[in-house]
């Protein structure tokens, strides 16, 4: 249940979903997916059927992107751009608070 709850957090990245670093190999991606898929599969979590389906879908999406080198490169670029935007917003807020 804890894994399902974690996977349903709103801003979780594909790497966080699979509990991997950004340098994880394709085989590590598949291994992590298989382990978490067994744990969160809706058939094993009948009491939490709908949340388990959502969590399982998030895992499947993460696996699909991170196992494909081209999709992963695009995803990583998007993550990097989002980190840059967040850093710029923090900098602007910090400067506004200073004055």
What does the pLDDT read at residue 71? 97
* Tokens (6 digits) for 28: 């590590």
What percent of the residues of the chain are helix, what percent strand, and what percent coil, each to the nearest 5? Answer: 80, 0, 20
- Average confidence (pLDDT) per 10 residues, the chain, 99 residues: 89 94 96 94 85 94 97 94 76 56
Which CATH class name applies to 2-98? mainly alpha
Question: Considering the entire predicted model, what is its pTM?
Answer: 0.80
Best CA proximity match to 19, nearest among 9, 10, 29: 29
51: which residues sit within 8 A by CB, 6+ positions away? 4, 5, 8, 45
Q: How far separated are the first and last CA of the chain, in Å rounded?
A: 46
**Domain residue extents for the chain:** 2-98
């Amino acid at each position: 249940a804890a894994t399902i709850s974690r996977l349903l957090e709103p801003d979780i990245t594909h790497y966080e979903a699979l509990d991997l670093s950004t340098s994880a190999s394709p085989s590590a991606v598949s291994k992590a997916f298989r382990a978490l898929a067994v744990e969160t599969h809706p058939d094993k979590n009948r009491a939490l059927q709908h949340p388990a389906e959502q969590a399982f879908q998030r895992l499947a999406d993460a696996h699909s992107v991170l196992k494909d080198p081209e999709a992963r490169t695009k995803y990583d670029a998007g993550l990097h751009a989002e980190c840059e935007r967040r850093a710029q917003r923090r900098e602007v807020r910090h400067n506004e608070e200073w004055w």
